[in-house]
Copies of this chain bind each other. A is one copy, B any other.
Amino acid sequence: MNTTQAQLGAVLAAGGPELARLLDRTETRLAEVAEGHGQELARHSTATLSAGGKRLRPMLVFLCANGDTDERLVAAAAAVELLHMATLVHDDVLDSAALRRGRPTVFAEGGRLAATTTGDLLFSRAFAELASTSSADAVRALSEASSALARGELMQRADAWSAAVTPERYLERCRLKTASLFCASCRLGALFGGRPAVADALCGFGEGIGLAFQLLDDVLDVSGPEERTGKPRGTDLLDGTVTLPLILARAADPGLAELDPELTPEQAERVCDRIAATGALVAAREQALEHVARAKASLGRLELPQQRRQALELVADGVVERYA
């Protein structure tokens, strides 16, 4: 059992039997969506939807609720996971990726058209799930997150190869492209789980761990090792994606100011070493840990049952452990 699995086991233990049941119902619901909207979706998305992943966002939905097993919570959990998957399917098209989580991507199996359209269909079904809850607030939360994800991608594209990306702009991009859906997951859990008064606060918790999640992912791209991440070090550098480690390293090593669009994978590894030599990885990691610490501390100010707080803290720790 690896660290992540151990951590998830701890969350499940803290969340109690109803958490496990709700997650099971979410799996069932995702399978129904994959099978219930035409042969083509079934063919292309069953693998994607069942390929696992950590179901971190559905878990946040349930943990931010009061322990009821309202059907709307399952709809919300399915919705955030469907939206997450829609973006993964589109990302794989844009990256021409052959594998995800060790399985062939929709792009690899069905081609560009099938994958783009399957992504669109998953988007649509995410909103259809929420429509079943009859809550306009919920639809608003998801559409805001969905817009933010797309804006984050566009921002990343606009900033590619740029020498002028500030830490603030980088964080805004992380907030848009990653943290927004963590926030929405927590908000939906609070809305349907009888805690509307703390929906904003729980969104803030989700946002904090979402930011840490993205920051640590970006650190890992530079630090490797490849056996751990499943991709060569410096993939972001090869794509022109300017992340916090590079931004911080530039201040100490002006030779890193310009990213070479003709970089080879070998040269990218050397740039990674050079970034690490400035101490930027340690500094970026510290920022991530601060976000997690602040997120955990924010829970202390909310009226939550002890067991729920503990489970949410474990999720926050899990984000860090994933990279330990």
Residues of A within 8 A of B (CB): 37-41, 44, 86-87, 90, 93-94, 112-114, 116-121, 123-125, 127-128, 130-136, 139-140, 142-144, 146-147, 149-151, 153-155, 157-158
Inter-chain CA distance A113–B127, complex, in Å, is 23
Secondary structure at chain A's binding surface: helix, strand, loop or mixed?
A: helix
Contact A117 B39 (CB under 8 A): no
Inter-chain CA distance A78–B134, complex, in Å, is 21
Number of identical monomers bound together in the oligomeric complex: 2
Chain B residues with CB under 8 Å of A124's CB are 123, 143, 146-147, 149-150
Contact B38 A154 (CB under 8 A): yes
Inter-chain CA distance A210–B230, complex, in Å, is 48
Chain B residues with CB under 8 Å of A114's CB are 154, 157
Contact A157 B121 (CB under 8 A): no
Chain B residues with CB under 8 Å of A139's CB are 127, 130-131, 136, 139
Minimum C-beta distance from A246 to chain B (A): 20
Contact B125 A158 (CB under 8 A): no
Inter-chain CA distance A126–B139, complex, in Å, is 11
Minimum C-beta distance from A310 to chain B (A): 34
